Structure 1
Amino acid sequence: MFGISDLPKFFLAFFLVMPLISILHEGGHVFFAWLMGGKNIKVSVGTGKPIFNWGMIEVRKYYFWYGLCTFENLRLNRRWSNILIFFGGSLFNIFGVMAVMILVEQELMDTNMFTYQFTYFSLYYIFFALLPMSYPGGNYSDGKVILDLLRAKSHVINERTYRVQWNEEKKEWHVFNHDREFIQAFKEELDAGNKAREIAVHNRPSRIVNVKDGEEKEIHNYPRIPL
Structure 2
Amino acid sequence: MFTLHDMGTFAWAFFITLPLTIIIHIAGHAFFAFLFGAKPKVEIGSGRKLIKVKHVQIRHLYFINASCKYDSIRNEKRWKHALIYAGGSIFNLSSIFVVNGLIHFGIFQKHLFFYQFVYFSIYFIFFSLLPIQYANNWASDGKAIYEVLRHGKIYNELD
Q: TM-score range by the shorter chain?
A: over 0.9
Give the whole-Å Cα distance in 2 for the aligned partners of 1:67 and 1:147.
22
| CA distance in structure 1 between the aligned counterparts of 2:76 and 2:32, rounded to whole angstroms | 12
* Gap regions ≥5 residues in structure 2: none
Q: Percent identity?
A: 38
Instruction: Tell me the residue number matched to 2:76.
Output: 77
Aligned residue in 1 for 2:50: 51
Q: How far apart are residue 137 of structure 1 and its match?
A: 4.7
Tell me which protein shows more strand as a share of its residues: 1
Cα drift, residue 49 of structure 1: 2.0
Q: Which residue of 2 aligns with 1:186?
A: none
Greater RCO structure (CA 8 Å; 6+ sep): 2
User: Does residue 100 of structure 1 match 2:99?
Assistant: yes
Deviation at 1:75, TM superposition (A): 1.1
SS in 1 for 2:157: coil
Equivalent position of 1:14 in the other structure: 14
In the other structure, the counterpart of 1:225 is: 157
- Give every structure 1 segment of 4 or more consecutive aligned residues whose post-TM-superposition deviation is greater than 6 Å: none
More helix by share: 2
Unmatched runs of 5 consecutive residues or more in structure 1: 157-204, 206-222
- Partner residue in 1 for 2:26: 26
Name the CA distance, whole Å, in 2 between partners of 1:32 and 1:44: 16
* Secondary structure of 1:109's aligned partner: coil
Q: Counterpart in 2 of 1:66? A: 65
- Deviation string for 1:136-188 (max 9, x for gaps)? 353100110101222226xx1xxxxxxxxxxxxxxxxxxxxxxxxxxxxxxxx
Per-residue Cα deviation, 1:72-125 (whole angstroms, up to 9, x for no partner): 131132101000000001100000001001111111101111101001011011
Bigger drift between 43-52 and 79-88 goes to 43-52
Worse overlay, 144-153 or 57-66: 144-153
Q: Deviations over 1:14-33 (max 9, x none)?
A: 10011111111111111111
